[in-house]
Each structure stands twice: as C-alpha cells, then as structure tokens.
Amino acid sequence: MEFFLSGSPAAVQETFEWPSKRPESSEQLAKDVDGYLASLEVKGFCGVVLLSHQGKVILHKAYGYADRESGKRLTTSSGMCIGSIVKPMTRAALVKLESAGKLKLGDKLASFFPNAPPDKADITLQQVIDHKAGFPDMFGDDYEPMGRDEIVSKIMDAKLLFKPGEKSEYSNSGYSLLGVVIEGTSGIPYERYVYDEILQPAGVTRIGYKIPGWKPEELAVGYTNGERWGTPLDHPWMEDGPSWNLRANGGMVSTVEELYKWFDAVLGGRVLSPEATQKYREMMIRPTRTGRRAIAVAGGNGVSNSLYVNIVDANLVFIIFTSISEFVGEEAFKAIRPRVEAFLQPE
C-alpha cells in the first residue's frame, strides 16, 4: 500500500528532516509529529491525529480538507469510517456476553446454528475471533446489499480454505457471523447491543452505524486516485444499517477522540467486569520487536484508513484517521514510529 502515488513511504520520509536531537519530552514529540504531518498537508494529506502520553492528550489536530470541492476543512470532530477497528468492539461484545453467562468463547457453531454442515459445526467462536476458522474473507463488496440470513447461508455453503485451527487467514465474513451470534444470543440487534452495552458505558455516543445519527455534512469526504468517493452515507445502506458484508466487521463511523475514549475505558476496566477486562486485554495485547507490549489495530477500505496504536508499557497512544487513498494513516505511522521509539529509549 503506497503512501502517495509518486513514491513509497520511505521516499516521503526523506522529504522531511526530523530534528537531529531525540525528543526529550512528550511535548517535543508532539511538536515533531505535528511538523511531519503539516509537511504532508501541503502535498494533499487529509487526516486527524491524536497522540497521548501517560493519559494526557498532547496532540489532537486535523489536517487538510473534509470536502475539497467546497473548500471545507477537516476538524477534530469530523467523522470517518473506522473499518476493521469495529472488530475489537465485536470482541468486547462477545466477552461481555460470556461474562453474563450467555455463551462461552469455546462454544461450537452448532450451538448457535443447528443446521451448520459437518465441516463447520465444530468450529468454535474463539477460532472465528482469531481468524482460524477457514472462512473466506468476503462475499462481495462492502456496500453490496447482503442480508443477515444471506450472509449466514453463504458462509455455511462456502468451502473452507483450510482445516479449522490449522492456521490463520483474515476473514471479514467470520466477524459478520459473530455479529449474528451476538444478535441471537442477546435478542438485540447487533448495533443496539454494542451501543448500549459496549459504547455507552464508556461515555461514547458517536460511534456506530445508524444510532449516532451522523449527518453527511459532519463526515469527511473520501477521495481515491484523485476522484471523489464520498462518505459512507453516499453508498447503499439497508434500512437498519450497512450490508452484512460490513456489519460487525467494519463500516462504523467515529471521531478520533471517541475511539480514544472507548479504548481507554474498555482497557481500563470501565466497560467489562474485572475478569472480562483481563480476558479482553489478553486478547488484544501483543509483544513487539522492541520487547514492549502493545495493541495495534487498523482498518481501511481502500479510501479511508484508521489506525490505533497503544504502547501499553509506555502508556502512549497514537491514533490517526485519513480520508484519501494517496495518503494512508498506517504508512504515515511507519515514518513516525522511529521518532516515537527514540522518545521511549532511555537516555
């Protein structure tokens, strides 16, 4: 995935000269990151960033345009599609249902889908969560109309890519199936359950599909290869939300700040029970090549891109949303990461 059309991320980084001295304070780190993103803004970069250290937000800023044609600027309250960062919310919903005794992550699909064929009946929820079920990735485009029963039928009829548990391969459709499990177990539509049980306890009300009531003028317009793609609301939705090709695996709209608040709450034990919080943290936190523990989740649809990075041991969080395919937030972080690592190194 290229950072912008004329070159690689490395080439972009070479056009910006970082200060030779390592950042000695979080404020200096924020200044350095801001300088880098501002240098990209003049080339067409459009995005919103949030950087926090030790629980203090040290940078929260928007760059570029929400709508190029009208000249409307992005703001920190602009909504953008967060793509696959919806998956951690689906995970949290399942963990909460488990803590309520409604299901177990070790339960087999046959418990929820009695007519599941033999090759899928013994697949566990945990295998689906971990992308180890063998399900294909998707059954059509994000916004191609696809009802709940139809996605279940397609998943159950599809040939598995491998024997469940043998390896891992990313599957959006698997998370759509988990959304169906959440609905069947809770008796509540997927978005409503997540909103009421996972988001609102965190004090978050502006993440979701239909429930937050996003208006077109509140959203960033996406662009790909110089062409206007529009906002998520400019693409086909069903009456109660997007296609089940997106439901529970992606497609929600959020602001950077709302996503920051949600992760802070769920990881901090303000959404789930203590036992469930510990389980959720174990699901999300991984060791890095530097030896630190971190959470890194990203989402993108080829137009918008979102990235959440939490270096847990340093209590440093970096979030970036972008709305233009030529400038990808994940690639921007690759250029910023050495600066962050320099800041975290002891003198």
Residue-wise pLDDT tens digits, 168-181: 999 999 999 999 99
300 sits in the region (left: phi over 0; alpha: psi -120 to 50; else beta) called: beta
How far is the C-alpha of 243 from the C-alpha of 143, rounded, in Å?
A: 6
The number of CA neighbours under 13 Å toward the Cβ of 20 is 0
Name residues whose C-beta falls within 8 Å of residue 95's C-beta, 6 or more positions apart in sequence.
105, 272, 276, 279, 280, 283
Residue recorded with tokens 């997007």: 242
Percent of the chain predicted with pLDDT > 90: 93
DSSP H helical ranges for 123-250:
125-129, 148-157, 172-186, 190-194
DSSP code at position 216: G
Give residue 190's pLDDT.
98
Of 161, 88, 150, the closest CA to residue 120 belongs to 161
Tally: H helices and E strands in the chain:
11, 12
Please, what sign has the CA dihedral across residues 27, 33, 38, 44?
A: negative
Name residues whose C-beta falls within 8 Å of residue 329's C-beta, 6 or more positions apart in sequence.
47, 298, 305, 306, 307, 320, 321, 322
Determine which helix (DSSP H) or strand (DSSP E) holds 286, and give its type and residue range: strand 286-287
Are 297 and 85 contacting, i.e. CB atoms less than 8 angstroms apart? yes
**pLDDT average, residue stretch 239-259:** 97
Give yes or no for residue 162 having a pLDDT over 90.
Answer: yes
How far is the C-alpha of 197 from the C-alpha of 195, rounded, in Å?
A: 6
Domains of the chain: 9-81+205-344 (3.40.710.10), 87-193 (no CATH)
Give residue 346's pLDDT.
74
How far is the C-alpha of 25 from the C-alpha of 91, rounded, in Å?
A: 35
What tens digit of pLDDT does each residue of 19-50 get?
989 999 999 999 999 999 999 999 999 999 99
What tens digit of pLDDT does each residue of 47-67 get?
999 999 999 999 999 999 999
Give yes or no for residue 313 having a pLDDT over 80.
Answer: yes
Give yes or no for residue 286 having a pLDDT over 50.
Answer: yes
Are 133 and 215 contacting, i.e. CB atoms less than 8 angstroms apart? no
**pLDDT average, residue stretch 225-230:** 96
What tens digit of pLDDT does each residue of 80-124 get?
999 999 999 999 999 999 999 999 999 999 999 999 999 999 999
What mean pLDDT is reported for the chain?
A: 94
**pLDDT average, residue stretch 314-339:** 96
Give yes or no for residue 9 having a pLDDT over 50.
Answer: no
How far is the C-alpha of 132 from the C-alpha of 84, rounded, in Å?
A: 17
Angle at 243 between CA 237 and CA 246, to 5 degrees: 120
Give residue 149's pLDDT.
97
End-to-end CA distance of the chain: 35
Give residue 60's pLDDT.
98
Instruction: Give the neighbor-by-neighbor strand order of the sheet with 286-287.
Output: 56-63, 47-53, 316-322, 305-311, 293-300, 286-287
Confidence band of 290 (pLDDT split at 50, 70, 90): confident
Give yes or no for residue 6 having a pLDDT over 50.
Answer: no
